[in-house]
Structure 1
Amino acid sequence: MVARRYLPPLFSVAPMMEWTDNHYRTLARLISKHAWLYTEMLAAETIVYQKGNLDRFLAYSPEQHPIVLQIGGNNLENLAKATELANAYHYDEINFNCGCPSPKVAGHGCFGVRLMLDPKFVGEAMSVIAANTNVPVSVKCRIGVDDHDSYNELCDFIYKVSSLSPTRHFIIHSRKALLNGISPADNRRIPPLKYEYYYALLRDFPDLKFTINGGINSVVEVNAALREGAHGVMVGRAAYNYPWQTLGHVDTAIYGQPSSGLTRRKILERYQEYGDSVLGRNGSNRPNVREVAKPLLNLFYSEPGNSLWKRKADSAFQHCTTMKSFFEETLVAIPDSVLDSPIAGVPSGHEDLFANVQGLLPPPYNVREQEAVYA
């Protein structure tokens, strides 16, 4: 297969369970041509034990490139098989989840962020994944777990994983995870952000690539991180909750590409074609109009007619069987001036989000000591 070439992952959309599915990624790609997209996390076992229906979990349209498959698990054999099975779908990178704090994953599942406590296994897992694919591999992790949250412990994890495997790219969620039963939502809010850990990793591991994640909610803040030296920035819920305001500026404000003049009407015309082509594809009327339209519900955030649009959508979900009929019934709520206006100026954000970070960096990591420990 001919290797594809894309602009670097300066901006990526985080993998989010039940959010970054095929429908959302289709919408995201219609808005931004260059953002890197991630799948939801797929457990290796989900891939391995499918009964002839891999397409349901792994298939996507070619337009979604560049796209990264995120997998999770703690069984080396299943990780190897899952990676091998995914090869036929030509993802651009395979990412291993070492950051999910959900009790179903890190608790009973004993993978996700809990794997940060076992860097030797993660190194072995990444070696197995890399041996079964010909695309780059990466790890997404937190900066720590519970009371294992010192900068040196984070460096130990990075050092050992990169020493034991070909992993050269780490996505760092700049909060630690708490595994004492708090919800995933609280794990995105309660542990404090420590961006200084991320920037210290850039200093102490100059041969590796790091993407920063956590608490970054606008392209203004993305550019602030990049100006401070970040290799790439991953945005999560802001890219889902405000897709037009966030993704609509990525190509121009982050990648310096000329404006395409894209409007929401044009996006919805193309999304209608996609939606009507996939409705009922999985049998038993799934996916249905509600599922396909779900990513669209924030497209008119803060615009005139948004509240009425959502009320009409709730009503239309009860009886519409095509995206065409859904749009005919709901878009009357949105003024033509909103539907036909190209993306406006970049919305405000915290331009000084990283202003003091260099003064907060922890002392340098002593790699020589670690070389002796892991020899």
Structure 2
Amino acid sequence: MVAARYLPPWFSVAPMMDWTDVHYRTLARLISKHSWLYTEMLAAETIVYQKGNLERFLAYTPEQHPIVLQIGGNNLENLAKAAELANAYRYDEINFNCGCPSPKVAGRCFGARLMLDPKFVAEAMSVIAANSDAPVSVKCRIGVDNHDSYNELCDFIYKVSSQSPTRHFIIHSRKALLNGISPADNRKIPPLKYEYYYALLRDFPDLTFTINGGINSINEVNAARREGAHGVMVGRAAYHNPWYTLGHVDTAVYGAPHTNLTRRQVLENYQVYGDSVLGKYGQKPTVRDVVKPLLGLFHSEPGNGLWKRKADAALQHCTTLKSFLEETLGAIPDSVLDSTVGEAPSGCIDTFAKLNGLLPPPYAAREHEREALYA
């Protein structure tokens, strides 16, 4: 599943629309060398119709490896063309979105709604794989609306994996509600059912599963892995608090030696990057675009509130990232700028250890029943 030259995706940063753009991924890679990074979801149609402008949508620096391209869509021809066009950019995996609950996406019959059509998803994964050199994966929920039983989830996994080359599934451990509630509410209202994820490990031992949803700290990441999780995907915590989330990944998850990296060093390198890309595509990116991923860098630190107020003012007139940082960083004490991330916080998390007694019964469909189901 993984490129041999990279460590496995024990930790990955979730694809997040308007957030995990090339600027955020550049910052993330300056903090963590081993985290697997995902792009924002790109619609297959965007890739196909922007054929003459693909650098803007698909280009990234070599340092961002290992990196996964997430695409969405419901048209096999466009998915095939998009995979073929993206192949030149050498992503380490192509992920298909079957989990987004946004009404804009679900209403167009892609995203989470596709879980109701596993036959199509299998066909989509087959055409994507046929037009790409990269491995393929699916990101999905544990169910949709009232189709939320464990057996229905297993039917989806079985169909897609048995009729396509898909061997890796990222499981967001909540179902999706497609009745018009917001994506934010879809991350809170449906209950987490981690037991479904761990039951999949039991019932599909030949597949690889990454757990996603509600995991916000390195302690929780390692707790999930201690109970057998193949990989863990973290979303908003990695964006809103990148220093203490991503800063512990290499050492606490991958076992790399501690470094003396500081936020000042990260900002020095990021400033060189940011100023090199300003206006690369006409008016874009702007200073505001490249500053956006930095806004969580001093999460909960002394001076953070003042720094953000200074940032708001500076963004009204600064034309370079260098001038922005010179004008604002005085709000942050040197002790914060020059401190290392330190040891990962200790503590026992038993969220996942308690699940053994909650696992649903083993997948009930026998082989001949499965054949009838998919006939």
Q: TM above 0.5, one fold?
A: yes
SS in structure 2 of the partner of residue 39 of structure 1:
strand
> Which residue is 1:294 aligned to?
292
Match of 1:35 in 2: 35
Q: CA deviation at 1:347?
A: 3.4
For 1:213, the equivalent position in structure 2 comes to: 212
Alpha-carbon offset, residue 349 of structure 1:
6.8
Q: Residue 59 in 1 paired to residue 27 in 2?
A: no
Displacement of 1:51 after TM fit?
5.0
Which residue is 1:233 aligned to?
A: 232
- Counterparts of 1:310-349 in structure 2, within 5 Å, are 310-347=308-345
User: What is the number of residues matched between the two proteins?
Assistant: 371
Q: Which amino acid aligns with 1:291?
A: D
Deviation at 1:110, TM superposition (A): 1.1
- Structure 1 runs, 4 residues or longer, greater than 4 Å off: none
| Residue 181, structure 1, aligned to residue 148, structure 2 | no
Measured after TM superposition, the shift of residue 352 of structure 1 is 1.2
CA contact (8 A) 1:16 1:39 kept: yes
Q: Which amino acid in the other structure matches residue 111 of structure 2?
A: G
Q: Alignment partner of 1:40: what SS?
A: strand
- SS of residue in 2 equivalent to 1:129: helix
What's the counterpart of residue 306 of structure 2? Answer: 308
| Partners of 1:134 and 1:358 in 2: CA distance | 38
CA deviations 1:200-240 (Å, max 9, x no partner) are 00000000000000000000000000000000000000000
1:257 aligned counterpart, secondary structure:
coil
Counterpart of 1:353, as a letter, is: T
- In 2, Cα distance between equivalents of 1:132 and 1:13: 25
Q: How does 1:7-86 map to 2 (within 5 A)?
A: 7-50=7-50, 52-86=52-86
What is the SS of the residue equivalent to 1:70?
strand
User: Aligned equivalents of 2:296 and 2:205: distance in 1?
Assistant: 39
**Contact preservation (8 Å) 1:221, 1:349:** no
Matching residue of 1:105: 105
TM-score by length of 2: 0.97
What are the ranges of 5 or more consecutive residues in structure 1 without an aligned counterpart? none
Confirm or deny: 8 A CA contact 1:12 1:35 kept in the other structure: yes
Q: How far does the alpha carbon of each residue in 1:228-285 deviate from its partner, in whole angstroms, 9 at most, with x for none?
A: 000000000000011001000000000000012110000000000000000011112x
**Alpha-carbon distance in structure 1 between the residues aligned to 2:115 and 2:374:** 16
Q: SS in structure 2 opposite 1:156?
A: helix
CA distance in 2, matches of 1:232, 1:4: 16
Q: Which runs of 5+ in 2 are unaligned?
A: none
Report deviation, 1:95.
0.2
Contact 1:245–1:347 (8 Å) recurs in 2: no
Distance 1:28 1:195 in 2: 27
- Aligned counterparts of 1:113 and 1:135: Cα–Cα separation in 2: 23
Query: Could you state the TM-score of these two structures normalised by the residue count of structure 1?
Result: 0.97
Between the aligned partners of 1:116 and 1:350, the Cα distance in structure 2 is 35
Report the identity percentage. 82
* Contact 1:218–1:349 (Cα < 8 Å) also in 2: no
1:138 corresponds in structure 2 to 137
**Structure 2 SS opposite 1:295:** helix
Query: Using the alignment, how far apart are the partners of 2:23 and 2:84 within structure 1?
Result: 25
Letter matched to residue 138 of structure 2: V
Aligned ranges 1:195-214 → 2 under 5 Å: 195-214=194-213
1:358: how far off?
A: 1.2
Q: Deviations over 1:64-111 (max 9, x none)?
A: 00000000000000000000000110000000000000000011x210
CA separation in 1, counterparts of 2:348 and 2:80? 42
Residues 135-284 of structure 1: pairs in structure 2 closer than 5 A: 135-284=134-283
Letter matched to residue 360 of structure 1: L
